[in-house]
Structure 1
């Protein structure tokens, strides 16, 4: 092969190489610039359809959390709807099994807690004699009660919202209550010298429980106990025991009190008691 032919082939090869290099350079120059991801401010996440989405870290994460929370709420709402339909339309046997699996223990604990937190109170009598009410011709509220902190170290108590004011127990929630009261009453027949005491009041003894509500402004009798006075010929004192126990439907704010037709009979009040509890 002659030197001329070799030189021609080398020239052609060089031309092809230059064309290839020029083509590559043109392709590189015409390609769009690719934006680099900054790991400090941007993040890439894979979508449900396997595509990758890149963007500002805070915005993408916020959108992701909102989507997750929305999904959780939707799932909870769906489960609640299913359980409601199951409760309405499902068989009793299936419901019992589900309850045994999931909710019985929680509901039992919850109900036990509610039962223990029902408003209740028991006041016990003070040892101080109640003040005299002039004439004793009308029903007077018995106010000689230990209450609040004075009930410590006694058999009495005030729990879960029951308040005491002016001889009255104030109920915190509406409902049916068991209310009760006991009064021990003493009427003197003879003085220490054996002289007969002229009675100031010969009317029947009435022991009653009343309720009052500021919305009604009416004092209403709930239950009462009426008994005649004794006429015995022996002993220095007459003793009367009076007890009331009943159920009453009360409203929040009702004030329950004990009333007596003759408070001069309240000479030894330490054994008296008065209370209520929600049933």
Structure 2
């Protein structure tokens, strides 16, 4: 065996020794798993980074739901920020190109009712609860609703793209169950009326104010089983770019038949 071959063999053996040493060091440095780990058990970090062990399906489900939810929220936030940045950067350019014709393309929107909204834990005990579920985007194709010229939909709210005076409106149907024996509503406080209103919120000021609202007192049912109320509100409001418009009601459970509900706005 020549000198070159000997040197090559020694080098290969040395490399093998180094690799084995690294693998051994990694094995020694790994944290010890609980001695109760079985073939159907897995260990994954929780939200605090602590290693949690349990049945593989449950641990994997919780871990994936948390990771996917966080990633979805991050992508959604980046998309909204990108859309707002594009609108802010191009508003002046569009005005310069189209001049008065740009203002003829007035922002307008109308979203329609979807399924019965869920009552969130944060809403419990609140005087007014926002309706966070409306048909929007492609869901409006087969309805009377629309989103035009910069109006954006976000978490049940309509976001205003430019400052100006807007006509704002909303319609909802209330369905209130009553006692068959007396015809009176099944409620604990009959003195608190049913309320329906439109509100505006601006993330810069972090203030929410009521624009317009309607109060409906509770009445004795004529058929002794239920009351049905229709509420329509509308108003003119001076809004700023970035204002978010939402609809709130005093009791979400009264929104039994939601497909005919709607709310919208348009720049005048």
Instruction: Tell me, yes or no, whether TM beats 0.5.
Output: yes
Match for residue 154 of structure 2? 165
Which of 107, 118, 127 aligns to 1:131? It is 118
Cα displacement string for residues 200-254 of structure 1 (whole angstroms, at most 9, x for unaligned residues): 5532111111100011111111111112111235242101111111100000000
Tell me, yes or no, if the aligned pair for 1:136 and 1:262 is still in contact at 8 Å.
no
Match for residue 231 of structure 2? 242
Aligned-pair CA distance for 1:161: 0.6
Instruction: Indicate the SS of the match to 2:253.
Output: helix
RMSD: 2.5
In structure 2, the CA distance between the partners of 1:247 and 1:234, relative to structure 1 (3 Å rule), is same
Which is greater in Rg? 1
Aligned-pair CA distance for 1:166: 1.1
1:140 counterpart = 2:129: yes
Tell me, yes or no, if the aligned pair for 1:176 and 1:247 is still in contact at 8 Å.
yes
- Extract unaligned runs of 5+ from structure 1: 1-108
1:198 counterpart = 2:196: no
Which of 120, 128, 149 aligns to 2:108? It is 120
Which of 164, 170, 174 aligns to 1:185? It is 174
Normalised by the length of structure 2, the TM-score is 0.57
The count of residues paired between Structure 1 and Structure 2 equals: 168
- Extract unaligned runs of 5+ from structure 2: 1-97
Instruction: Indicate the SS of the match to 1:130.
Output: coil
Instruction: Indicate the SS of the match to 1:138.
Output: coil
Normalised by the length of structure 1, the TM-score is 0.55
Match for residue 73 of structure 1? none
C-alpha distance in 2 between matches for 1:267 and 1:195: 19
In terms of mean alpha carbon deviation, does 245-254 or 135-144 score higher? 135-144
Tell me, yes or no, if the aligned pair for 1:185 and 1:241 is still in contact at 8 Å.
yes
C-alpha distance in 2 between matches for 1:249 and 1:260: 22
C-alpha distance in 2 between matches for 1:148 and 1:214: 23
Cα displacement string for residues 147-183 of structure 1 (whole angstroms, at most 9, x for unaligned residues): 1111111100000110111111000000000000001
Aligned-pair CA distance for 1:111: 4.9
